[in-house]
């Protein structure tokens, strides 16, 4: 299909066939007459087509909520609620059921209470305000909405503590809230209007007057620590005061039925299901059992125990006493560990039938709950799962299986169990590879319980995902995790560890959770969060997975590059080591950074899954900044701040290395873990750059050997740039000096089978200086005899495999490759020859390279044509080279590198390209119609779609706040117009630019539903937020979207931004300045997303 004037798009189906979903009617003549009244470049047909192709939505947050602060659970709805310090609340049910809301105040949520049997919940914030939320059905799906808010007010002149709420008790009638305060008073509020019932207030004075004489003289009234409703009688409530007094209050008679006095400060209390026993826990690490009987007005405790005594212990802050049909109860409590030896541990202890285990968590425990029989009239609790909310993860323990194993999470994954350092997305995974990855991951999950996910409330209305997608995350501890990113729920499939390849201080076979049977306390490590790395050099920086061959390339912080292949069986093998010296032709350079990792020399046993067979070690061992893998040619390309190299992983030999260091790149020799840049040096370099920016481009030092070439280029470029200044949204691009640091930093690598040189051209490489104006003539040295005509393609041209590399200084290197045919692949070596060296005049960092075939379609991925998943590229017409720098897009003809088109993205506010990727956008109206475009992210947080091959901007959306540098650095695009970026160290925000590939989360929760107490879902993990996520509008004036609520809450906290930035920028010791520049760059794969 042809677009309107200046539209510039590639109207192709996913296989590359051209199609046309629209027909021109007889009214076309009338439309052509009206076009003269339209502004230039405006085409209504194209505008309608763009609405069918592009739509911006933020769909769902993947991962674990940042800084959780409260936990709630509804036994009737079987829904879990989590509140955060940023004022967000999230509800989770069955996989695929999720709701999110945000308080307007952005204050921390301190308590969450779900009303019994209702789709309502009450939250308490740290500003002492109460909020009522409801799940309401709209359009066939439930939505979470805030109904009312309320702040408890005291009488005039009263102290703030008089109404400071400490405990909230929703009454079983769902009509009243009982609010315990610091003053000892219990206020009553009516729902849903939050109307205070002053005549029902239970004051501390009223309780004191109704106590026996012997109890009145004790100072027992402090704050209210506990409120409980009688399990069988709704007219009785229990009030526990911090000084140790506990009373059972009759609501109808306004009198004290029973009172209990403890000698220790009260922390919490539990009322047994039959109402005959109370269990209180105290600040000295003890708990007491109290009988509720009318025989004695002031009973003594049946027993008082210090579980981890006799030495001083920390307080037990919460306790549950749960009955079972077998007769022996479960005692579950938080804290109580010996203060001197284990006071820093975060533990929850479970005692039952002679077995006692203290579950040890690596982060602070926020709260816990136990899933029991939901029917209030049941005779026994029969607990079956322990749910623990820690500060960095959620852990569920199976209480019905011997040994109490953990339950695998279908959502709420702890993405940051080790800090995320990079990510990589692969779309449309073949079924065979998918099954093999799942099979390898299932063998790693043998320690998990077989229990189905117990939190299974609600119903997911989201349709099954149309394809299988995988999100790979690299971590600081040297692991790579494979996540199922097909739907709206992120689920861990498989974990790969590269630690076994290297010699580290920790034995890979060591079991940190193992402990002797006789050791006391009986601690057991649980959870996956581990913030500590054995060696920061293990950190993963780049990942590249070929979904057709099963080859995986992983690169790290210390210059290590591993090539792995998928094996369904465990194997013991030695990893072949090859060293790539990137400074072999340089003298006088000395590496000042960290040392390389020491690799194991002998055979290493690897479990089923991805197993490394070769290790390429870069020297110097700097951070690997770019990576590319071509499985069809069996070639691997890698780049650092010193240069790049090519490795043949089939013959296990190095093809070539190329040093890209400039004499001024001294900082590139300083390692990420040891370099400390002085303030004086930074200021000196800043002033030098300021002085250079005032110098005319004609007076700059020439970049190429012939001085007259640079001079001529500058003269012809000058009028074009002056004309560009007339554009209202663009500014003049100033050329950067070749003396700037890190110019040799390799930002992107790209394999392509294309036309690299003419048959008649000499073999020596040409250096081409390309100006910033498309109308300027080429430099004199590019007009050699025998070159191709102006269109850049001739019958003498021939295509060949090639490798392209782009650097931080605007230099592009092109190497022609000779790959032997399959029958001689192991006998003949792969040969490489440098064919071109292109220098961009403005010297902006190159962040993306792409080759378009004769139909202006991006080249397919390796092996994609062989698997009949893509049409063969057009090798008859002229190919085009697209170079994306931080400041502009430029299209050149091949094999002659002459400028054809250009788009400057640099705006007045200083926009820079940070990420670019090719994406296919399908039409929501025509099933077989789609277009290939560029998805572009800038340093301002804007996302733009740019057409191919005419480089016409299509749409622009505001996605990430410009202040969120870490979120911009972590952003990745998918092949079908979706994307991910970190909104906190533990959460990915997912967004979509496509109308067709929109993951629309929908779910329904019904308060009338009844389910058995045993879990049973069997559905694939998905999740769906309740709030409608409207499409974004273009430019800065876009409408406020509900989908941004979580992100806005998190990004208002500077600590969140610093924590993400420390992960991606090296404050944890895994990255340096080089990797920061690389993280915001892009490596365009052959037609796919990174």
Instruction: Find the angle CA(46)-CA(1038)-CA(993) to the nearest 5 degrees.
Output: 55
Q: Which residues contact residue 258 at a Cβ distance below 8 angstroms, ignoring those fewer than 6 apart? A: 247, 248, 292, 297, 299
pLDDT at position 322: 95
Cβ(634)–Cβ(563) below 8 Å = no
Given strand 626-630, what is the order of strands in its sheet? 626-630, 635-639, 643-648, 653-659
Place of tokens 């049909």: 325
Average pLDDT of 670-685?
A: 50
Q: Measured between alpha carbons, how far is 728 from 794 in angstroms, rounded to an integer?
A: 40
Average pLDDT of 214-226?
A: 75
CA 782, distance to chain mean position in Å, is 46
Q: What Cα–Cα distance (Å) separates residue 738 from each residue in 101, 664, 706, 782, 842?
A: 51, 8, 16, 21, 10
Q: Measured between alpha carbons, how far is 582 from 617 in angstroms, rounded to an integer?
A: 10
User: Per residue, what are the HEC states of 1007-1037?
Assistant: CCCCCCCCCCCCCCCCCCCCCCCCCECCCCC
Residue 40 has pLDDT above 70, yes or no: no
User: The tokens of 676 are what?
Assistant: 């400390």
Q: β-pairing, 109-114 with 120-125? A: antiparallel
pLDDT at position 68: 97
- DSSP-assigned letter for residue 263: S
**Residue 728 neighbours by CB distance under 10 Å:** 7
Q: What Cα–Cα distance (Å) separates residue 784 from each residue in 128, 761, 766, 789?
A: 79, 9, 10, 11
Segment holding 137, helix H or strand E = strand 129-138
Q: Measured between alpha carbons, how far is 1083 from 1014 in angstroms, rounded to an integer?
A: 48
Q: Report pLDDT digits (tens) over 973-1017.
A: 999 999 999 999 999 999 999 998 888 778 999 875 444 444 443
Least confident of 21-25, 283-287, 512-516, 537-541: 21-25
Instruction: Find the angle CA(58)-CA(64)-CA(69) to the nearest 5 degrees.
Output: 110
Q: Which residues contact residue 567 at a Cβ distance below 8 angstroms, ignoring those fewer than 6 apart? A: 606, 608, 609, 610, 611
Q: Measured between alpha carbons, how far is 87 from 123 in angstroms, rounded to an integer?
A: 10
Average pLDDT of 846-857?
A: 94
pLDDT at position 33: 45
Provide the pLDDT confidence category of residue 173 given band limits of 50, 70 and 90.
very high
- Phi, psi angles (nearest 5°) of residue 520: -135, 135
Instruction: Find the angle CA(518)-CA(524)-CA(528) to the nearest 5 degrees.
Output: 160
Q: Measured between alpha carbons, how far is 734 from 297 in angstroms, rounded to an integer?
A: 88
Reported in sequence order, the residue ranges of 95-128 that DSSP labels E, i.e. its strands, are 98-102, 109-114, 120-125
Cβ(598)–Cβ(503) below 8 Å = yes
Question: Could you tell me the pTM of the whole model?
Answer: 0.83
Q: Measured between alpha carbons, how far is 1017 from 627 in angstroms, rounded to an integer?
A: 41
Least confident of 269-278, 301-310, 728-737: 728-737
Preceding amide of 327 cis, omega within 30: no
Provide the pLDDT confidence category of residue 296 given band limits of 50, 70 and 90.
low
* Among 449, 98, 377, 269, CA closest to 1013: 377
Q: Report pLDDT digits (tens) over 6-16.
A: 444 444 444 44
Q: What are the start-end ranges of the H helices in 310-430?
A: 339-342
Highest mean pLDDT among 635-639, 665-669, 1005-1009: 635-639
Q: CA end-to-end span of the chain, whole Å?
A: 29
pLDDT at position 217: 62
* Among 1001, 1002, 1004, 1003, CA closest to 992: 1001
- DSSP-assigned letter for residue 286: -
Given strand 79-84, what is the order of strands in its sheet? 68-74, 79-84, 88-92, 98-102
290: three-class secondary structure by DSSP: strand
Residue 793 has pLDDT above 70, yes or no: no
Q: Which residues contact residue 732 at a Cβ distance below 8 angstroms, ignoring those fewer than 6 apart? A: 721, 724, 725
Q: Measured between alpha carbons, how far is 563 from 701 in angstroms, rounded to an integer?
A: 42
32: three-class secondary structure by DSSP: helix
User: The tokens of 1000 are what?
Assistant: 């629309």
Cβ(545)–Cβ(433) below 8 Å = no
Q: Measured between alpha carbons, how far is 895 from 755 in angstroms, rounded to an integer?
A: 5
Q: Measured between alpha carbons, how far is 140 from 321 in angstroms, rounded to an integer?
A: 41
Q: What Cα–Cα distance (Å) separates residue 990 from each residue in 488, 541, 746, 998, 1044?
A: 9, 21, 29, 10, 11
Q: β-pairing, 330-335 with 316-322? A: antiparallel
Average pLDDT of 620-634?
A: 95
Cβ(915)–Cβ(847) below 8 Å = yes
- In this structure, the chain runs to a length of 1090
Burial of 813 (0-12, 13-18, 19+ CB in 10 A): buried
Q: β-pairing, 831-840 with 766-770? A: parallel
Average pLDDT of 939-967?
A: 93
User: The tokens of 713 are what?
Assistant: 């280029």
pLDDT at position 809: 92
Q: Measured between alpha carbons, how far is 1075 from 1090 in angstroms, rounded to an integer?
A: 16
Q: Enumerate long-range contacts of 1029-1034, CB under 8 Å, 24 or more apart.
A: 1029/57, 1029/58, 1029/59, 1030/57, 1031/55, 1031/56, 1031/57, 1032/56, 1032/57, 1032/58, 1032/957, 1032/958, 1032/959, 1033/957, 1034/955, 1034/956, 1034/957
Q: Which residues contact residue 794 at a Cβ distance below 8 angstroms, ignoring those fewer than 6 apart? A: 758, 788
Q: Report pLDDT digits (tens) over 802-844.
A: 999 999 999 999 999 999 999 999 999 999 999 999 999 888 9
Mean residue pLDDT of the chain comes to 81
Q: Measured between alpha carbons, how far is 56 from 1031 in angstroms, rounded to an integer?
A: 5
Reported in sequence order, the residue ranges of 140-182 that DSSP labels E, i.e. its strands, are 141-151, 165-170, 176-181
- Phi, psi angles (nearest 5°) of residue 1074: -60, -45
Q: Report pLDDT digits (tens) over 554-580.
A: 999 999 999 999 999 999 999 999 999
Residue 720 has pLDDT above 80, yes or no: no
User: The tokens of 429 are what?
Assistant: 């995974």
- Phi, psi angles (nearest 5°) of residue 899: -65, 135
Q: Report pLDDT digits (tens) over 699-715.
A: 444 444 333 333 233 33
pLDDT at position 652: 95
């Amino acid at each position: 299909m042809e677009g309107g004037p200046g539209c510039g798009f590639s109207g192709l189906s996913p296989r590359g066939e051209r199609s046309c979903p629209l027909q021109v009617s007889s009214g076309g003549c009338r439309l052509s007459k009206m076009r003269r009244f339209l502004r230039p470049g405006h085409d209504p047909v194209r505008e309608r087509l763009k609405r069918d192709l592009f739509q911006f939505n933020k769909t769902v947050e993947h991962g674990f909520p940042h800084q959780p602060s409260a936990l709630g659970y509804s036994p009737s709805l079987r829904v879990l609620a989590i509140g955060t310090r940023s004022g967000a609340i999230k509800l989770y049910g069955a996989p695929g059921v999720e709701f999110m809301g945000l308080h307007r105040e952005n204050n921390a949520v301190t308590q969450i209470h779900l009303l019994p049997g209702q789709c309502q919940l009450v939250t308490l914030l740290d500003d002492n305000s109460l909020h009522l939320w409801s799940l309401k059905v709209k359009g066939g799906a439930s939505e979470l909405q805030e109904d009312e808010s309320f702040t408890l007010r005291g009488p005039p002149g009263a102290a703030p503590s008089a109404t400071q709420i400490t405990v909230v008790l929703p009454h079983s009638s769902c009509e009243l809230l009982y609010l315990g305060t610091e003053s000892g008073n219990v206020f009553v509020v009516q729902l849903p209007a939050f109307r205070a019932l002053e005549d029902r207030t239970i004051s501390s004075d009223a309780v004191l007057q109704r106590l026996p004489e012997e109890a009145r003289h004790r100072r027992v009234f402090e704050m209210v620590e506990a409120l409980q409703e009688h399990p069988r009688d709704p007219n009785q409530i229990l009030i526990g005061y911090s000084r140790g007094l506990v009373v059972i209050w009759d609501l109808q008679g306004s009198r004290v039925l029973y009172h209990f006095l403890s000698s220790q400060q009260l922390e919490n209390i539990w009322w047994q299901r039959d109402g005959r026993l109370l269990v209180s826990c105290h600040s000295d690490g003890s708990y007491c059992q109290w009988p509720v009987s009318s025989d004695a007005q002031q009973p003594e405790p049946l027993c008082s125990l210090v579980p981890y005594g006799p030495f001083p212990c920390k307080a037990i802050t919460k306790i549950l006493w749960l009955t079972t049909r077998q007769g022996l109860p479960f005692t579950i409590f938080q804290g109580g560990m010996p203060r001197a030896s284990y006071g820093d541990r975060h533990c929850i202890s479970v005692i039952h039938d002679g077995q006692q285990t203290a579950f040890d968590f690596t982060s602070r425990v926020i709260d816990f709950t136990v899933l029991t029989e939901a029917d209030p009239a049941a005779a026994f609790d029969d607990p079956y799962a322990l749910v623990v909310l820690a500060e960095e993860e959620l852990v569920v323990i199976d209480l019905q299986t011997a040994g109490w194993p953990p339950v695998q999470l279908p959502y709420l994954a702890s993405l940051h169990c080790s800090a995320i350092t990079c990510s990589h997305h692969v779309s449309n995974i073949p079924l065979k590879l998918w099954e093999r990855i799942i099979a390898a991951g299932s063998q790693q999950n043998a320690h998990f319980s077989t229990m189905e996910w117990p939190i299974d409330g609600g119903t997911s209305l989201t349709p099954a995902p149309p394809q299988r997608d995988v999100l790979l995350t690299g971590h600081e501890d040297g692991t790579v995790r494979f996540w199922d990113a097909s739907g709206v729920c992120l689920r861990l499939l498989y974990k790969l560890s590269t630690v076994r390849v290297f010699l580290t201080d920790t034995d890979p076979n060591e079991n940190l959770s193992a402990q002797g049977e006789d050791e006391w306390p009986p601690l057991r490590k649980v959870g996956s969060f581990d913030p500590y790395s054995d060696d920061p050099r293990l950190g993963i920086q780049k990942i590249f997975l070929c979904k057709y061959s099963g080859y995986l390339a992983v690169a790290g912080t210390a210059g290590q590059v591993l090539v792995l292949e998928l094996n369904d069986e465990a194997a013991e093998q030695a990893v072949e080591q090859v060293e790539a010296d990137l400074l072999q032709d340089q003298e006088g350079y000395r590496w000042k950074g960290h040392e390389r990792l020491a690799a194991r020399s002998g055979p290493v046993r690897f479990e089923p899954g991805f197993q490394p067979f070769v290790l390429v070690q870069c020297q110097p061992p700097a951070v690997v900044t770019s990576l590319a893998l071509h499985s069809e040619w069996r070639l691997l390309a890698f780049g650092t701040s010193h240069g790049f190299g090519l490795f043949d992983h089939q013959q296990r030999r190095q093809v070539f290395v190329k040093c890209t260091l400039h004499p001024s790149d001294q900082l590139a020799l300083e390692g990420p873990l040891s370099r400390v840049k002085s303030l004086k040096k930074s200021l000196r370099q800043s002033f030098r750059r300021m002085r250079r920016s005032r110098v005319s481009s004609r007076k700059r030092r020439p970049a190429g050997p012939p001085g007259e070439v640079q001079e001529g280029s500058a003269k012809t470029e000058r009028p074009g740039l002056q004309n560009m200044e007339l554009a209202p949204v663009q500014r003049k691009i100033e050329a950067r000096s070749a003396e700037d640091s890190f110019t040799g930093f390799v930002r992107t690598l790209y394999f392509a089978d294309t036309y690299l040189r003419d048959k008649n051209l000499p073999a020596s490489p040409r250096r081409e200086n390309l100006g910033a104006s498309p109308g300027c003539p080429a430099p004199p040295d590019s007009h050699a005899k025998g070159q191709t005509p102006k269109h850049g393609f001739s019958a003498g041209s021939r295509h060949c495999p090639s490798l392209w590399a782009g650097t931080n200084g605007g230099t592009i290197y092109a190497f022609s490759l000779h790959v032997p045919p399959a029958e001689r692949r192991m006998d003949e070596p792969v040969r490489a020859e440098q064919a071109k060296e292109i220098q961009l005049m403005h010297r902006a960092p190159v962040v993306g390279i792409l080759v378009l075939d004769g139909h202006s379609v991006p080249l397919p991925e390796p092996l994609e044509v062989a698997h009949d998943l893509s049409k063969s590229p057009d090798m008859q017409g002229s190919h085009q080279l697209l170079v994306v720098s931080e400041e502009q897009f430029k299209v050149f003809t091949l094999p002659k590198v002459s400028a054809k088109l250009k788009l400057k993205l640099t705006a007045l506010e200083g926009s820079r390209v940070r990420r670019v990727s090719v994406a296919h956008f399908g039409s929501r109206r025509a099933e077989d119609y789609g277009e290939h475009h560029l998805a572009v992210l800038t340093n301002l947080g804007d996302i733009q779609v740019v057409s191919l091959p005419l480089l016409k901007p299509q749409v622009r959306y505001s996605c990430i706040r410009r202040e969120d540098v870490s979120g911009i650095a972590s952003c990745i695009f998918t092949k079908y117009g979706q994307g991910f970026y970190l909104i906190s160290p533990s959460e990915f925000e997912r967004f979509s630019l496509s109308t067709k590939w929109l993951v629309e989360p929908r779910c329904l929760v019904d308060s009338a539903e009844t389910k058995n107490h045993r879990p049973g879902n069997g559905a694939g993990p998905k999740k769906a937020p309740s709030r409608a996520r409207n499409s974004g509008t273009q430019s800065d004036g876009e409408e406020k979207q509900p989908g941004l609520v979580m992100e806005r809450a998190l990004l208002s906290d500077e600590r969140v931004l610093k924590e993400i930035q420390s992960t991606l920028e090296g404050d944890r010791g895994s990255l340096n300045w080089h990797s920061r520049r690389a993280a915001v760059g892009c490596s365009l794969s052959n037609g796919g997303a990174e």
